[in-house]
Amino acid sequence: MSAEGPPPPAGPRRLPGRPPVPVRTKTGVVLLHDEASGNAYTVRLKLTKEVLTIQTQDVICVSPSNRSANHRTVTLRRQPVGGLGLSIKGGAEYRVPAVISKVFKGYAADQTGMLFTGDAVLQVNGINVENATHEEVVHLLRNAGDEVTISVEYLRKAPSFLKLPLGSPGPPSAHSSRASSPLFDSGLHLNGSSSHTAPSSPPSPVANEPKYEKRWLDAWSVPLSMARISRYRAGAETLRPDAFQVVALDGVSSGLLQFPSTQEHAGWLRAVSANISDLTLQTMEMTNKCCSPCDQVSILDWVRAEKTYNLCEVLFKVDKPQLPDACCSRTNLGFRDPDFGDQGPHCFSVQVGRGGSHSFSVELGSELAEWEARFQRATFMEVQRTGSRTYVCSWRGRTLCLTVDFALGFTCFDSRTKNILWRYKFSQLKGSSDDGKGRVRLLFQNLDTKQIETKELEFQDLTAVLHCVHSFMAAKVASVDAAFMDSQSVTREFMHSS
């Protein structure tokens, strides 16, 4: 269950071809897994533009304000109809105290205004029951006489297996079971007549009597600026189904959030990711104002660096996204959302010199598309900034140099005399082949004779040279064709065809 607010004004300009994602405000009830105990309990999420807040329920004293709501002692008078007007679940056999699971509106427990669903029963008529079994607590309450005094404290981390309702139930049913079970409501509202007589009138309010309310209170917040989202199990390569956690730059974590449905999971994943992305763009714009044109930041994200490479000498490769079964089943409807029900990572690799490669993965298909586009844009900017790259090579025992120049194309010259041996434009390159080691054969077309001329060279790191040639040629085409970069996007093409 969630609620979304109206989107605020549009954020920073995004990449061409990517639809803008509005910043969302959003609230919803989810399960939070406690790794220490292994249990899950209900929390509420509150998403704003800059912060994800985790809220927990608690009972507070609203009047007078100096009263504590941690421990409340309440005296109930058993009614002929409805008994104590409450039900309980839990018990020591499940490593939790007995908890009030229902407070029936208009009956004894409700009339006090001091008892709530989720209250742990600590004492019954002065007898401590914190470590009592479910059956023992039920027996005490049913045989405590017409006037029962109980002490309670709200259980902030009620395990989800108790399935406590968030709201108040209606009137008790005469057909409710009197069977005692820790995971089922043990009714304490059937003592006496089972007729449908209306409950007795509530007692008159006492002056200065404390008033209590159960509210959602802020527990902790996760700043979203430069935060990251993780859907992987700790120490494993498998995705958690319908769950993720948000980790802030300073290490503060939301904890593992489990969503009630795939739709809720996808909606929250997109909303949180959009807010993080917009804040990151703002950070990047502020950073770039302090940087020179040649040091502009193109993308900010969470990766781990092992070595520094020149952008001209690496190749960005997108692994074909995996289609989850949930998406495939809906293709007949003419609809597919690559981020919906995603059960596989979106991966890319950066291929470097000497055949090396580094693999990465992101959470969303839209993030993969942005990485691909921004990596290409950063590479093209680096090509234009450097202008040229020169590599030492050899042929038949002769030491040569090959220069790849953004304006001139390919130039080969003698490394000692600097005499130019041959020069071709990028457009004259008609093909190439290599032996997978260090030798490459380049096929150029002579502009005058139209004949193909073959040039063979050997390099110490052929992979870096080929990546450089690819980067310079792609940047050259992109400089005269504005649509070239979008047309080369593997991710966008896959998303559109899907």
pLDDT over threshold 50, residue 420: yes
> How does residue 179 score in pLDDT terms, banded at 50, 70 and 90?
very low
Alpha-carbon radius of gyration of the chain: 34
282: helix, strand or coil: helix
Q: Which of 11-20, 67-76, 199-208, 392-401 has the highest mean pLDDT?
A: 392-401
- C-alpha span between 202 and 189 (Å, rounded): 16
> How does residue 11 score in pLDDT terms, banded at 50, 70 and 90?
very low
Question: What percent of the chain lies above the pLDDT cut of 90?
Answer: 27
The mean predicted confidence, pLDDT, of the chain is: 78
| Other residues' Cβ atoms within 10 Å of the Cβ of residue 116 | 22
Residue, of 453 and 110, whose pLDDT is higher: 453
Average pLDDT over residues 262-285: 90
Q: What is the per-residue pLDDT for 345?
A: 63
> How does residue 191 score in pLDDT terms, banded at 50, 70 and 90?
very low
pLDDT over threshold 90, residue 411: yes
Instruction: Encode pLDDT of 252-268 as tens digits.
Output: 889 889 998 999 998 99
Instruction: Encode pLDDT of 27-77 as tens digits.
Output: 999 998 876 667 788 899 999 999 999 998 888 777 765 555 578 888 999
Average pLDDT over residues 156-165: 71
Q: What is the per-residue pLDDT for 178?
A: 45
Instruction: Encode pLDDT of 130-140 as tens digits.
Output: 889 888 988 88
- C-alpha span between 252 and 264 (Å, rounded): 23
Instruction: Encode pLDDT of 75-103 as tens digits.
Output: 999 888 888 888 888 888 888 888 888 88
248: helix, strand or coil: coil
pLDDT over threshold 60, residue 174: no
Question: What percent of the chain lies above the pLDDT cut of 70?
Answer: 74
Q: What is the per-residue pLDDT for 469?
A: 95
Torsion angle of C-alpha atoms 84, 152, 71, 213, degrees rounded to 10: -60
Average pLDDT over residues 118-124: 89
> How does residue 186 score in pLDDT terms, banded at 50, 70 and 90?
low
Q: What is the per-residue pLDDT for 371?
A: 86
Name the residue with tokens 């291929």.
351
Name the residue with tokens 């993308």.
299
Q: What is the per-residue pLDDT for 374?
A: 85
Q: What is the per-residue pLDDT for 419?
A: 94
Distances (CA, A) of 384 to 25, 311, 318: 41, 12, 24
Q: What is the per-residue pLDDT for 307?
A: 67
- C-alpha span between 282 and 394 (Å, rounded): 48
Q: What is the per-residue pLDDT for 164?
A: 65
Where in 83-210 does DSSP place strands (E)?
86-91, 96-103, 119-124, 127-128, 147-154, 186-187
> How does residue 474 score in pLDDT terms, banded at 50, 70 and 90?
very high
Q: What is the per-residue pLDDT for 497?
A: 54
Which of 2-16, 173-187, 278-292, 371-385 is least confident? 2-16
Q: Which of 217-221, 222-226, 291-295, 443-447 has the highest mean pLDDT?
A: 443-447
pLDDT over threshold 90, residue 448: yes
Q: What is the per-residue pLDDT for 157?
A: 78
CA triple 267-42-65, angle to 5 deg: 120
Q: What is the per-residue pLDDT for 481?
A: 85
Phi-psi sector, 389: left (phi>0), alpha (psi -120 to 50), beta: beta
pLDDT over threshold 60, residue 396: yes
